[in-house]
Structures are given as C-alpha cells and as structure tokens.
Structure 1
Amino acid sequence: MKRGLLSIILFLCISSVFAQELNFTVIINSDRSRFQNTDVFNQMKASFEQFLNGRSWTNDEFRPEERIKGNLLITINEVPQVGVYSATVQIQVVRPVYGTNYESLIFNFADRNWSFEYIESQPLEFNRFTFLNNISSLLAFYAHIALGIDYDSFSSRGGNPYFEVANDIVNNAQQSGRPGWVQNPGDRRSRYWLINDIYVSTVYSQIRDAFYLYHRQGMDMIQIDSEAAYKNILEAIRLVAEANKLQPNGIFTISFVDAKSDEISQILKNAPFEIKEEAVKLLLEVDPNNARKYNELLRS
C-alpha cells in the first residue's frame, strides 16, 4: 500500500514538473485609479498568476527551465464601483536564444480596453467553447497567443493549434458585447483584430513565416553560422515589409516592430554592410517612426 501511494505521489510530482507551460509575472499598477484597497490587487495578482501558470495549456512536456516567460502589466485606470475595474494591459513574451544567456522579446502588445468584474477569492475557470467571464477569457486568450507566437518561432507555423483556440475565445466572447472582442474598424488595437491578423486573414501570414526565419534560422544560428543567420534575418524583415505593402500598419506588423526594433538595431551592427543597407531600406518603409535608430546602423 505504501509503495502504491508513493508511486502515485511520484507520478503527481513528475506531472507537475512537466505540466505547466507558462511562467508569467503579473504586475498590477493601481495608482491611476486612486483606489485605496491594495489588498484586492495583491489577491488579483496571485489569482491571475495561478490561472496562467498553474494549469496545462498543451499536451507537450515542458521542463521548468523551458517554460515560456512573460509579463502581464495591468494598469487599473478606474474603479467605477466596488468590484468593477477598467484597465489597460500590456503583454510581453520572451524567448531564449540558442547558445546564449540572451532572451529575445518576441511579443509586445498593448490592449487598451479591458473592463472586468472581480470578487476576492473567486475561482477562475476556463472553457474553450463558452464565455464564462471577461477575466478568464482575456487571460486564456493571451496565454494562447503567447504559446502560438513561441511555437511559431521554433517551427514554421507551429502555433496553429494555439491560435485556433485564441480565435475560438474571441468568437465566444463576442456574445458578451464587451469592447475588444467585437469587430470595430475604429479600434484596430483589439483582441479581435489581433487574432484576425495573425490567424484568420492571409494578408499577414508572411509575418508568421518571418517569426520562424528571424528566430530559429537567424538568432539561434548567429553563434554557429553568422553569415547565413544575417541573411535569414534580412529575409524575415523583407517578409514583414511585403505584408505591410499589402495592408499598411496592421496590428500584427506594429506588434512585430514594437518587439523587435531595438533588437534589430543592435543585432545588425555586426552584419555585413550590404545586409544592413537593405535591412534599413525595408525597415524605413515598415517603421518610419524609428528612422533615426535604423539609420544609425549605416554609421556603425
């Protein structure tokens, strides 16, 4: 009996080691709201982190060091009544680069319109096929976006299963009528348009190919074959530029340059001049707001 009980305990321990895929830190800033009860935000942080990090989102095995790191930065703008919150959310996801201690920012997105109801100690549940509340839907949506982006960076369009679930979450949440879930041409920085551009529409599909080229065939290869790596990074930038020509200033394009502009301007400093020259030409088309940063590459 003891041996059987020990086996069960060991199985549960091993399962817990390999089960969770995410390692997210939730940061809640309530200064703007001037709401005095800080205890509720401490509970909120713990509840949201447990929801993201304490469950299995895939059927794959993840060792603790392989978990996908990210930040969920929540700014509480207003507390119009007790238990009701209006907030903005910034989601950041990083990925390790092979053979280095460097972590590459692969996703950086600001969700500017989130309202939700939170009761202290309320359990958070998730059902892929049903809208339960505006907390679990948003958290599960970005959990699957993070998984999809990460998997895309390791294998060509490897994120499809996770983007499919994210799209289901949006479709189910539309019945709620809450901002961010519905098609609103005046609000392109929304969950609806994000998953539309990443997964539903084919216009920006080249950006998903760029994720794989840039990270797996570029960043991961710099220590092994820098010449091939720089060419692949350039090709990834070209794919983003081609997608941007088809439909300028899409949210997926903006998300890509928001995550990668600083890194590109550093990584390409050691690239051959012709690579830098072509890259800058393309980057100025896609991201003219950072023209000074990119032009510095030609002087380095």
Structure 2
Amino acid sequence: MKHILLILTFITLADQLMAQELNFTVTINSDRARTQEREVFETMKNTFEQFLNGRNWTDDEFRPAERIKGNMLITINDMPQVGLFNATVQVQTVRPIYGTNYESLIFNFADRSWTFEFLDSQPLEFNRNTFLNNITSLLAYYAYVAIGVDYDSFSPRGGDPYFEIASNIVSNAQQSPRPGWSQSPSDRRNRYWLSDQLYTSQVMVPVRDAYYLYHRKGLDLLGNKPEEAYKNMLEAIKKVASANDAQPNSILAITFMDAKSDEISKVFKNAPMDIRKEAVDVLLKVDPNNSRKYNDILKG
C-alpha cells in the first residue's frame, strides 16, 4: 500500500512540474449586451479559459513558468437572440526576455467579426480535422497562432507546425456562414488573411524572420551584447518594412507594429545615434501613424 501511495505521489508531483502551453486570462465586456442574465458571461469566461488553458496543444513539455501568457478581451456588441452573440476579440500575448523580469508584448490582434452560440450547459468540443462550432474553432485558432508566434521568436520559423494547424482550422471553417473565415477582398484583416500571411505567403516570410531577430537576437541579448542586439533589432524592423513595401498595409506587418511600437520607441532611445537615425527613417515609412513617438527616439 505504501508503494502505491509513493507512486501516486510521484505521478502527482510530475504532473505539477509539467503544464499545458497556455496561461490565458479571458475578460468578457458585456456592457452592450441587452440581457438581465449576467451570470452567463461569468460562465462564458470560465468555460473559455478552461478550454484554452486546460488542454495540451502540442507534444512539447512546458514547465508552469514557461506557459505562454496571454489576454483575450471579448466585447459583446449585440445579442440578436437568446444564446446568440456578436462580438469583437482582442488577443494579446507576451514573451519573457532572457535575464530580466520584463515581458515583451509579442502579439496584438483585433478580430472584429465573431458570431457564436453559447449556452450554460454547452460542452466545448474541438476536432482539428473538422468544423464543429464557431467557439472552439476560434479559440483553438488563436491558441495555435499564439503558440506559433511564440515559437517563431525563439527559433527561425519555429512556428510552422502550429501555423499549419491554424491554417487547417481556417480551411475547415469555410463551410461556416459566420464572418471572419472567408477570403473576402472586402475584409482583409480577418482570420483567413492572418493565417494566409503567417503560413502561406512567401512575401510575408521576412516578418516571421523579424520575430526571431527582434526577440532572440535582439531583446534577449540587450543586456550582454547591446551593440549586436540593436543591429539585429534594426534589421528586424527593416524586414517588416520590406514585406510591407511588397504588400502595402499587410495585416501581418500591421500586427507586428501594433505589438512593438511602444516598446521600440522606448528601447531605441538608448541605442547609438546612427542606429537611432536609421531606425526612425524606417519606422516612419512602415508605421507613419506613430510618427510622433518614433521622432522622440532621436531625443534620447
């Protein structure tokens, strides 16, 4: 009996040492929802968090401290009928920087069109190979995108396997009449086009390479090899700019800059002046909407 207890204790401790890949916080903004049944939104939050955080998305082993941190803000815009919701989704993930307590915002994307059915007692089922519903397909899609972007930042194009799965989710969802999955030319900032530029488009490969250069060869080296780090981060920005030149207003270039603009404007203030000047020239072309903060880089 003692041997059995020891074995069970060891298994329990081993499970605690390893964890799922994601550590997401889901927030539901239901201010616009026309309903008195507010409990459904608390249930929705808990159910979505459990779906994201409570399963294994890869075959890799993660320690609890290695889990990918993220936030998913779901804003309910309308309830056309009981159990049916129209929403927008903001997805953000962060990455720890080597040798520091700093966490860098690495992915920041606004999904503007999500329509789904949700009931309190509804189990969330997901299958990679088929479309079951618009909740689990969207949640799983962003789970794999988040993992893929994180892996890209640690190794060159390391996110390929996960972007492929996200692309398959998009393909399976083509049978759904719900918005956000189609290759409509009138909506080029949806899940289809994000997946296309992460996995299919050769024009956007430089942006994926930029994730690795900027983070692994940039921020991670900033404390020990600042000169090399700044050069690599500048090269990363140039890669984003080259992709955006080839395909203006590309969703992936915009997503990269949405995540990094504030950080770039602060970090580059400590770079050598020649690096700062070159960086500002590139930044003003690729992200002119943030020209004021980039011009501040030159002030140091």
Task: Bin the TM-score by the shorter chain.
Answer: over 0.9
User: Is the contact made by 2:213 and 2:233 (CA closer than 8 Å) also made in structure 1?
Assistant: yes
| Corresponding letter in the other structure for 1:46 | N
Deviation string for 1:62-109 (max 9, x for gaps)? 111110000000000001111000000000000001111110000000
Q: Is the 8 A contact 1:218 1:233 kept in 2?
A: yes
User: Could you tell me how far 1:11 is from its partner in structure 2?
Assistant: 2.1
1:212-248 Cα shifts (integer Å, max 9, x gaps): 0000000000001000000000000010011011001
State the match for 1:174 in structure 2.
Answer: 174
TM score, norm. by length of structure 1: 0.97
Aligned length: 300
Measure how far apart 1:42 and its partner are.
Answer: 0.3
Per-residue deviation, 1:17: 3.7
| Matches for 1:179-258 after TM superposition, within 5 Å | 179-258=179-258
Partner of 2:77: 77
Q: How does 1:13-32 map to 2 (within 5 A)?
A: 13-15=13-15, 17-32=17-32
Task: Out of 122-131 and 12-21, give the one that drifted further.
Answer: 12-21
User: Secondary structure of the residue that 1:33 maps to in structure 2?
Assistant: coil
Q: Is residue 147 of structure 1 aligned with residue 157 of structure 2?
A: no
Aligned residues of 1:85 and 1:116 also touching (Cα < 8 A): yes
Structure 2: distance between partners of 1:14 and 1:127 = 28
What residue is the counterpart of 1:289 in the other structure? 289
Q: Which runs of 5+ in 1 are unaligned?
A: none
Counterpart in the other structure of 1:113: 113
What TM-score do you get using the length of structure 2 for normalisation?
0.97
Structure 2 gaps of 5+ residues are none
Q: Could you tell me which residue of structure 2 aligns to residue 263 of structure 1?
A: 263
Q: CA deviation at 1:14?
A: 1.9
Secondary structure of 1:248's aligned partner: coil
Q: CA RMSD in A?
A: 1.2
Q: Give 3-state SS (helix, strand or coil) of 2:151's partner.
A: helix
- 1:91 counterpart = 2:78: no
SS of match in other structure, 1:69: strand
**2:276 alignment partner in structure 1:** 276
- Secondary structure, in 3 states, of the residue corresponding to 2:298? helix
Q: Aligned partners of 1:190, 1:124: CA distance in 2, in Å?
A: 23
Cα offset, 1:211, TM superposition: 0.3
Q: Which amino acid aligns with 1:33?
A: A
Whole-angstrom CA distance in 2 between matches of 1:190 and 1:261: 21
CA distance in 1, matches of 2:54, 2:26: 13
- Contact 1:91–1:108 (CA under 8 A) maintained in structure 2: yes
Provide the rounded CA distance (Å) in 1 between the counterparts of 2:34 and 2:156: 46
Q: List per-residue Cα deviations over 1:174-195 (Å, max 9, x = no partner).
A: 1112211111111111000000
Report the residue type matching 1:36 in the other structure: Q
Question: What is the letter of the counterpart of residue 58 of structure 2?
Answer: T
Task: State the AA in 2 paired with 1:277.
Answer: K
State the partner residue of 1:53. 53
Distance 1:15 1:58 in 2: 16
For 1:283, give the aligned amino acid. Answer: L
Instruction: Give the conservation status (yes or no) of the 8 Å contact 2:19–2:67.
Output: no
* Partner-residue secondary structure (3-state), 2:98: coil
